[in-house]
Structure 1
Amino acid sequence: MRTSKFFAFNILAAIAAAQPFSISKREVASGDNSTVTLATTSNNDFQTSYGKPFAIFKPKVFIVSMFELERDPWLEALDFAHNITIPGLSPIYSTIYCTTNYTICQATAGEGEINAASSLTALTLNPLFDLSKTYWLLAGISGGEPTQVTTGSATFAKYAIQVGLQYQIDYRDYINTDPNWLTGYIPYGADNPYSYPGNVYGTEVFELNEKLRDRALELASSVELDNGTAKNEEFRQLYKEEAATSPPAVVGCDVLTSDNYFTGNVLNDYFANLTKLMTNGSATYCSTAQEDNASLEVFTRMEKYGLIDYERIVVLRTISNFSRPPPSMANDTVKFFTDTDKGGIGHSLTNLVNAGFPFIHDVISHWDDVYESGEKYKAENYLGDIFGTLGGKPDFGKDSFEVA
């Protein structure tokens, strides 16, 4: 959907009028000795504001999927009557879907951190959407830690931890000098795998609204999750952990982000320890995905300018496969990983809607008296990144560090 020239002109005029600096003009000679007129300012501190005075769409809930298999259950479950295309979305997922009255919309970001960040930046900056009161459901499938979850389980995160920001040394290059190392991953600015990073990028950890997370978790707990096939159930019994052998459940636990797909006992042990290290022991790793920290970085930046409300974000990950092999396959991780038939992707996709829709329904049904103001589920915990970008002091990390 495109704005008319009239709308486009007025949008540009409104944005220009919002600039907090004064403009004068001066003449500068160009390379061909002709004269051009350039804008100059009374100081060198340029700052811009971003307004959306002509926003058309003000959804109450926005569902974000990562790829088509995660998208399609929502398209089947909800009555999406409108298709909207805006610049900057994924080339293969260029359509935003909205219900008849535009109260619920859905976008597919594309897989991986780059796609997630690019798509959500384009969406949140688009002048057609006023997202300042929108609730976000980031809903995707993931790998699962069998000590915490089983296939088909629905997990709601308080923390998202980016574990891919590390140095990496091949096993053959450190085993003779450092045989006690569990892995060749080393946090930035450190000289061993077990130290807190010496420098950070700021995207390593994000903390979400625990009160809203708990509400979404409570609502999801009232529905029956799809148990999967007999083969799924049979495969779960190969594990020893009670969580892995039990039917799918709704769990409050935390998600790891890495573009590098990892599997196996060694890496899972390492990343579980890193999760505790990065959050001062607060987070519990249970799901592994590729996009969430990238998405939350976008939301953090947009919150600073009032374009979204960071308190209104829920991260849902359902478990499509185990991230480590059962004991019977402990010495054949490659076969375990490549034998995708033993996962649970079917019921993990079904359970995205099963676990996510109760929250959506609650927001729509109680918009006027509960959700519009945001007061009832206003966060009581710290929100945001390690820099304290949104205010307050992080309850994770350490007192000082270098910014890379």
Structure 2
Amino acid sequence: MVAGLVAGLWGGQARAAQTPPLDVHVVVVTTFELGQDQGDMPGEFQHWVEQYPLDQTFPAPGTEHGVLRYNAKDHVLGLVSGEGPSHMAAAITALALDPRFDLRHAYFVLAGIAGVNPNKGTIGSAAWALHVVNGGAAHLIDAREIPADWPDGFTPLQGHVPNEQPRPPLHSIAGDMAYTLRPSLVQWAYEKTRHIALPDNDGLRTHRRAYQGFPEALKSPHVMMGDTISGETYWLGARMNQWAERWVAYWTDHQGEMVTTAEEDIGLCQALALQARAGRVDDQRLLVLRTTSNFDMPPNGVTPAAMLANAAHEETLPGLQASTSAAYQVASPIVKELATHWDRYETQVP
């Protein structure tokens, strides 16, 4: 029954049984596209389709985007998960169960946009994450009702104060709270891309100029390393930023620093970890690149509500075009290197 459901989802068990599964070297994971995959204003996926290119199409009914795209020469598969951790987990699970593809040695490269902490970075930049922290699973008391000595209203599940010690287990009732990606692989990707010059423009310069008092926010776009917090709520503001910094530090034993904020990363990590137990994927072959389209808090003198009014939709994010371009510019050399030197990377992970 399970096989039949999977086959129906992805296009037919009979056809899959007659054809050996495609050996996939790299899966490029994006989260949204603004319109069509080609020829209009690009979201995260369009640069890959047009420039890599991903020129072969596979139907993927029952998924948010409805199609997968493939480069047969390099064995690179691309998908759009849909926004949010639930869409991501569903898309990755469906892909792992798809009999058309052999993903046992595939690398997964998430290349998506994100908010950025102005204490740590600026818009138009690209950050390779070592840690992915779950920002959606917590106990929460409204800030107007918390004890006076609490920094915010968030406590860990199975905990009753914000900085519960000893810390509750990572493997909580809500799933894993923090993932540390393979350090050598993340460092390898960063070293290969750290010198890439990311474009700057007058719009980015004007936007970041408002962040006086935030030295990192005033810098030009660049490639960096930086951890990400992942959750379905699109939060913003200085107080929420303080919570996110604390939350990442708490769950990583103060080894991580919150640089970017996004939605889908925790769903990707959780899905890959579960499918790795079944031998369908290798969750040690994961890279997460987040490129920064907007600050997660306003500059001094601007309220969070006013900031939200100017950036409530993807199309109005101040660094949208710069960040979608940077995601391809920084991630594509890594994808190309892994995919085209398969004799080196199939069995030996950097």
Same fold (TM over 0.5): yes
Question: Is it true that 1:291 corresponds to 2:258 in the alignment?
Answer: no
Structure 1: 5+ residue stretches without partners: 11-53, 378-404
Match of 1:194 among 140, 146, 163: 163
Question: Is it true that 1:335 corresponds to 2:273 in the alignment?
Answer: no
What's the offset of the Cα at 1:139?
1.1
SS at match of 2:114: strand
User: CA–CA distance in 2 between the matches of 1:124 and 1:103?
Assistant: 16
Match of 1:60 among 3, 20, 25: 25
What's the offset of the Cα at 1:207?
1.1
Counterpart position of 1:256 = 229
Q: Verify the 8 A CA contact 1:153 1:248 in the aligned structure 2.
A: yes
> What TM-score comes out, normalization by structure 2 length?
0.87
Match of 1:345 among 320, 323, 326: 320
Aligned residues: 323
SS at match of 1:127: coil
Counterpart position of 2:346 = 372
- Could you tell me which amino acid in structure 1 is paired with residue 164 of structure 2? S
- C-alpha change, 1:280 and 1:3, in structure 2 (3 Å) is same
SS at match of 1:123: helix
- Could you tell me which amino acid in structure 1 is paired with residue 225 of structure 2? G
Matches within 5 A, 1:155-166: 155-166=127-138
- Could you tell me which amino acid in structure 2 is paired with residue 134 of structure 1? A
> What TM-score comes out, normalization by structure 1 length?
0.76
Identity %: 25
- C-alpha change, 1:188 and 1:6, in structure 2 (3 Å) is closer
Q: Verify the 8 A CA contact 1:57 1:102 in the aligned structure 2.
A: no
Counterpart position of 2:14 = 5
Q: Verify the 8 A CA contact 2:124 2:326 in the aligned structure 1.
A: yes
Structure 2: 5+ residue stretches without partners: 1-9, 34-42
Matches within 5 A, 1:2-401: 2-3=11-12, 5=14, 8=17, 55-68=20-33, 69-86=43-60, 88-90=62-64, 93-101=65-73, 103-174=75-146, 178-195=147-164, 198=168, 200=172, 201-227=174-200, 229-239=201-211, 240-329=213-302, 332-340=303-311, 341=316, 343-368=318-343, 370-375=344-349, 377=350
What's the offset of the Cα at 1:364?
2.7
- C-alpha change, 1:179 and 1:4, in structure 2 (3 Å) is closer
User: CA–CA distance in 1 between the matches of 2:114 and 2:222?
Assistant: 15
Q: Verify the 8 A CA contact 1:142 1:321 in the aligned structure 2.
A: yes
User: CA–CA distance in 2 between the matches of 1:214 and 1:61?
Assistant: 18
**1:250-295 CA distance string (max 9 Å, x none):** 1111010111111111111112111111111111110001011111
Q: Which has the higher contact order (CA 8 A, sep 6+)?
A: 2
User: CA–CA distance in 1 between the matches of 2:168 and 2:317?
Assistant: 40
Q: Verify the 8 A CA contact 2:124 2:204 in the aligned structure 1.
A: no
**1:55-107 CA distance string (max 9 Å, x none):** 421121110100101111211212222111245422xx010000143611100
What's the offset of the Cα at 1:342?
6.4
Which of the two has higher C-alpha Rg? 1
Aligned-pair Cα RMSD in Å: 1.9
